[in-house]
């Protein structure tokens, strides 16, 4: 065995030993930066493991244990705002690290074509109802939907025909409602709570720059929230996209 190979395997063994020590709980991560650095190290280690199949199974097993402990450490450091969620994909051995935002508790959607006597005057009614948590602390969402909810109307091919902050073909009348408590002109989501919000929209494809008959759906893009009424906003990204969109509605006349 050449010197490089011996050194490489020695390093790998040392890493495995270090990981094993971590899983015993001898020393927990003490800062968020420590946790982030350790998670990056774990992801790198899984990459290295691909080239050393004889160590791969053991390394993957230990990495899973370390990641589980790191999540415990995160909750202890900041119980209200965990910074990561971790998933190890079976078979692919990949670590996915992503921010934990206000996870949707439920999402329901609907779309319906409304037929009106005459030519070129049918329209669509859409609704997306969902609940989100407080993002770790009390937050506020403007009752004015145009300031807080960003959405789009797409056709059957996925092309955007109307966007609340972009291209606008046809005509949309949208509103936002919630039973959340209000503070001024803002809905309030209290710390540790979740609230249900409903985005309702009618779409007339024959008004303004008409796109005419076709198939259309509504999709929620983001919701802007702030720690204080009127304060700097952060965007809640509505993902996965497929659950935050309605069914296609066919407008034929």
Q: How far is CA 127 from CA 59, 77, 109, 153, 245, in A?
A: 47, 39, 6, 12, 9
pLDDT at 45: 67
DSSP 94: -
Measured CA to CA, the distance from residue 233 to residue 225 in angstroms comes to 5
**Which domains occur in the chain, in start order?**
3-98 (no CATH), 107-251 (2.60.40)
For the record, the structure tokens of 209 come out as: 């720059």
Give the span between the Cα atoms of 150 and 221, in whole angstroms. Answer: 5
**Residue 4 confidence (pLDDT):** 46
> Could you tell me if 142 and 150 are in contact, meaning their C-beta atoms sit under 8 angstroms apart?
no
In degrees rounded to 5, what are phi and psi of residue 42? -65, -40
Q: What is the mean pLDDT of each run of 10 residues along the chain (253 residues)?
A: 50 52 47 65 66 70 70 54 40 40 70 92 95 87 91 96 94 94 94 92 96 96 93 89 94 91
pLDDT of residue 136: 79
Query: Could you tell me the two tokens for 226?
Result: 């702030």
The pLDDT score that the predictor gives to residue 88 is: 41
Query: CB 74: neighbour CB atoms within 10 A?
Result: 22
Cα 156 from chain centre? 24
Res 178: pLDDT: 94
pLDDT at 99: 38
């Amino acid at each position: 065995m050449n010197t490089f190979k011996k050194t490489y395997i020695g390093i790998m063994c040392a890493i495995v030993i270090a990981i094993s020590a971590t899983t015993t709980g001898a020393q927990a991560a003490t800062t968020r930066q420590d946790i982030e650095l350790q998670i990056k190290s774990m992801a790198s280690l899984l990459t290295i493991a691909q080239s050393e199949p004889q160590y791969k199974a053991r390394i993957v097993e230990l990495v899973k244990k370390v990641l589980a402990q790191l999540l415990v450490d995160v909750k202890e450091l900041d119980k209200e705002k965990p910074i990561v969620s971790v998933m190890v994909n079976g078979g692919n051995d990949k670590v996915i690290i992503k921010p934990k935002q206000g996870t949707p508790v439920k999402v329901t959607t609907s779309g319906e074509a409304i037929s009106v006597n005459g030519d070129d005057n049918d329209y669509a009614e859409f609704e997306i109802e969902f609940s989100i948590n407080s993002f770790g602390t009390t937050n506020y969402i403007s009752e004015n939907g145009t300031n807080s909810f960003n959405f789009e109307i797409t056709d059957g091919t996925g092309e955007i025909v109307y966007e609340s902050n972009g291209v606008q073909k046809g005509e949309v009348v949208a509103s936002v409602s919630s039973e959340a408590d209000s503070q001024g002109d803002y809905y309030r989501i209290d710390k540790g709570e979740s609230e249900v919000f409903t985005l309702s929209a009618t779409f007339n494809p024959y008004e303004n720059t008409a796109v005419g008959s076709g198939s259309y759906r509504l999709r929620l893009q983001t919701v802007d929230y702030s720690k204080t009424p009127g304060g700097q906003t952060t965007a809640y990204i509505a993902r996965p996209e497929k659950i935050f969109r309605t069914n296609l509605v066919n407008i034929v006349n």
